[in-house]
Structure 1
Amino acid sequence: MRAVQITEFGGPEVLRVSEVDAPQVGRGQVLITVDRAGINYADTHQVENSYLSKTELPLIPGGEVVGRTADGRRVVALLGSGGYAEQAVAHAPYAFDVPDGVSDGDALALVLQGTTAWHLLKTSTHLQEGESVLVHAGAGGVGSLAVQLAKLWGAGRVIATASSEDKRQQVVKLGADVAVDGSPEGLKDRIVEANGGRPVDVVLEMVGGRTFDESFDALARFGRLVTFGAASRESAAAIAPSRLMKGSKTIAGFWLADCFKTPALLGDPLRELFDLTVAGRLRPLVGGEYPLSEVATAHEDLRARRTVGKLVLDPTR
């Protein structure tokens, strides 16, 4: 079968389509004929071996697929790897039936990035009605869903960052009250200004480095910041305990993989997200579809922040 298999770690240049053996199905697993595979920013880290969990070679990247099982079920599945291929194997508890009214792109946007946004707001920061929320990379896969969910769940003011004026306009159309330039220089002041001169209650942060530092400084009393990525590939400054105590601030971390031992932590939020999508109350943003043969271009575009929403691969091309 055709698949993207890497034999060395590196950037997009190591991503090449190869002919490989079809995956073997073990006990408790299902074989999926892949209609579309999802692309995540975490994949760029996995390919260069800078992800939270280390990877062994050779590797077929890709953590999510949508397609058909041998008995005809249309499912979206979470995988450890192996998604960038014509066929993939998933453990049965992590292959979720996709309802009518949810497209392949929608399903891929919701299964990982949607459940991440759900947990960031409900589990990690415990968003309360009327609170202000700052969503970094509001035009991205997680961000575009988090903006909409925050509004649905009663946030008082939703502020998003984005890297271009076009993206900022798009985020406002999704429901953000205001969108600002996400570059680190002067970011704290722009955040506070966007919130009517007040610090913010909740921050969803996935850039790292100076962006993390500026965002922390923009937190209100009893504010909560959750970090779920490091797109800048930079480390933030150390936070002394006294800085947490003053203002009673909280920093949390979130990694969706920590939900994998309890399938209900994925399945229950996903069903809620599917229902919202079918009802027209949630609109996953599918930003682009690439042939499998252009996977390197997809990674280049993602890393350069030229994309919006969810990116998908078509393994048939």
Structure 2
Amino acid sequence: MRALQFDRFGGPEVLSLVHLPDPEPGPGQVLIAVEAAGVNFADTHQVDGSYASADQLPLVPGSEVVGRTPEGRRVLARTRRGYAEFAVADRAAVFGIPEDLPAAHALSALTQGLTAWHLLRGAARMRPGERVVVHSAAGGVGSLALQLARLWGAGEVWATASTKAKAELVMRLGATGVAGYPLAQPADVILDGVGGPLFDQALGSLADFGRIVAYGNASRRAFTPLDDARLRALNAAVVGFRLRPTLARPGAFAEPVRELLDMMARGTLRPVAGAEYPLADAARAHTDLLARRTVGKILLRP
């Protein structure tokens, strides 16, 4: 099979198209012919060494696919080594999906959808009526978090967006408006996957007992050191969030995925389908993602 692999850490340029043996499913696993593989920021961290160790190399990245089982069933699956023509997944991490559900929509329910779900339900503990700000709201996580916050009763949902086109997109998704710092009114909840200077600006814009959830560092810049005296003065909280350990908790994986897929089926949650790239162009997909030129869910087509 064809696959994307890297044998050293670095930028997108280390990804190479290779030919590997087809994977063999083990006990409790299923083989999937890949229709599309999702691309996530976490994949870029695997490639640069943030999420992987040298003893794992060479490595095929990718954690989610849409494809077909040998029986012809169309499925969404959480997997490893997803940037390939074939992948294997544990049966418990495989979900049947309708034939007419776009691959980008289905894939958005995994890494991005689960992140957005847990950011609001768990990390932020958002309450109805609260004022929420979502950074990078045109992105994969942000576009879903914006919609979920509205569906779950937020009083206002403000968005940050880096271009006019992205600002127009977030308004179509239901944002109250496009925010800039300092905020006109303090926020109860701020979801930050950007980090760097934006995190510091956001921290100073929290309402009394507000929460900022730091779940990523798309800026690739160091976070501002936290001063506990500043937190006390703000009467605020900083919450860190990482998806992988969260999914090890009981009820944290299958139930939210099914809820997200159900909301998509009912039309109440509208994922944003982003760019599609041929498998061989994975390096370009990573480059565009890191440069923040993408919106919504981007994917690779084997």
Q: TM-score range by the shorter chain?
A: over 0.9
Question: In the TM superposition, what is the alpha-carbon distance from 1:242 to its structure 2 partner?
Answer: 2.2
Distance in 1 (CA, whole Å) between partners of 2:92 and 2:200 is 38
Q: Is the 8 A contact 1:102 1:274 kept in 2?
A: no
* Matching residue of 1:137: 136
The alignment status of 1:188 with 2:175, answered yes or no, reads no
Question: In the TM superposition, what is the alpha-carbon distance from 1:246 to its structure 2 partner?
Answer: 2.5
Q: Greater shift after overlay, 69-78 or 149-158?
A: 69-78
* Matching residue of 1:168: 167
Q: Is the 8 A contact 2:74 2:99 kept in 1?
A: no
Q: Greater shift after overlay, 68-77 or 306-315?
A: 68-77
Q: What runs of 5+ residues in structure 2 fail to find an aligned partner?
A: none
TM-score, normalised via structure 2 length: 0.95
Match of 1:286, as an amino acid?
A
Question: In the TM superposition, what is the alpha-carbon distance from 1:89 to its structure 2 partner?
Answer: 1.2
SS for the counterpart of 1:264 is coil
Distance in 2 (CA, whole Å) between partners of 1:70 and 1:141 is 30
Distance in 2 (CA, whole Å) between partners of 1:126 and 1:99 is 32
Distance in 2 (CA, whole Å) between partners of 1:264 and 1:156 is 28
Count of aligned positions: 301
The alignment status of 1:270 with 2:257, answered yes or no, reads yes
Match of 2:216, as an amino acid?
G
* Matching residue of 2:269: 282
Distance in 1 (CA, whole Å) between partners of 2:53 and 2:292 is 25
The alignment status of 1:153 with 2:149, answered yes or no, reads no
Q: Is the 8 A contact 1:93 1:263 kept in 2?
A: no
Where has structure 1 moved over 6 Å in runs of 4 or more? none
Distance in 2 (CA, whole Å) between partners of 1:116 and 1:280 is 20
Q: Is the 8 A contact 2:104 2:274 kept in 1?
A: no
Distance in 1 (CA, whole Å) between partners of 2:67 and 2:145 is 25
Q: Is the 8 A contact 2:113 2:141 kept in 1?
A: yes
Pairs within 5 Å for 1:117-266: 117-180=116-179, 188-189=181-182, 192-193=183-184, 198-262=185-249, 264-266=251-253
Distance in 2 (CA, whole Å) between partners of 1:287 and 1:143 is 13
Please give the per-residue CA displacement for 1:232-283, whole angstroms capped at 9, x wherever unaligned: 1111122122222233311111111113324631111111111111111110
Distance in 1 (CA, whole Å) between partners of 2:169 and 2:8 is 37
Match of 2:224, as an amino acid?
A
- Percent identical across equivalent pairs? 50
Please give the per-residue CA displacement for 1:162-215, whole angstroms capped at 9, x wherever unaligned: 1111111111111111114xxxxxx531xx12xxxx210001101111111111
Match of 2:247, as an amino acid?
F
Q: Is the 8 A contact 2:47 2:61 kept in 1?
A: yes
Question: In the TM superposition, what is the alpha-carbon distance from 1:42 to its structure 2 partner?
Answer: 1.2
SS for the counterpart of 2:210 is strand
Question: In the TM superposition, what is the alpha-carbon distance from 1:230 to its structure 2 partner?
Answer: 0.7
TM-score, normalised via structure 1 length: 0.91
Match of 2:196, as an amino acid?
G
Distance in 2 (CA, whole Å) between partners of 1:99 and 1:215 is 40
User: 1:75–1:100: structure 2 CA closer, same or farther, 3 Å change rule?
Assistant: same
Distance in 2 (CA, whole Å) between partners of 1:75 and 1:249 is 42
* Matching residue of 1:69: 69
Distance in 2 (CA, whole Å) between partners of 1:70 and 1:261 is 28
The alignment status of 1:31 with 2:24, answered yes or no, reads no
Distance in 2 (CA, whole Å) between partners of 1:96 and 1:257 is 19
Distance in 2 (CA, whole Å) between partners of 1:118 and 1:224 is 16
SS for the counterpart of 1:45 is helix
Q: Is the 8 A contact 1:76 1:107 kept in 2?
A: yes
Please give the per-residue CA displacement for 1:282-308, whole angstroms capped at 9, x wherever unaligned: 100011111111111111111111110
* Matching residue of 2:57: 57
Match of 2:94, as an amino acid?
A
Distance in 2 (CA, whole Å) between partners of 1:262 and 1:239 is 28
Q: Is the 8 A contact 1:99 1:274 kept in 2?
A: no
Distance in 2 (CA, whole Å) between partners of 1:246 and 1:91 is 48
User: 1:250–1:120: structure 2 CA closer, same or farther, 3 Å change rule?
Assistant: same
Q: What runs of 5+ residues in structure 1 fail to find an aligned partner?
A: 181-186
Distance in 1 (CA, whole Å) between partners of 2:86 and 2:164 is 39
SS for the counterpart of 1:172 is helix
* Matching residue of 1:312: 299
SS for the counterpart of 1:108 is helix
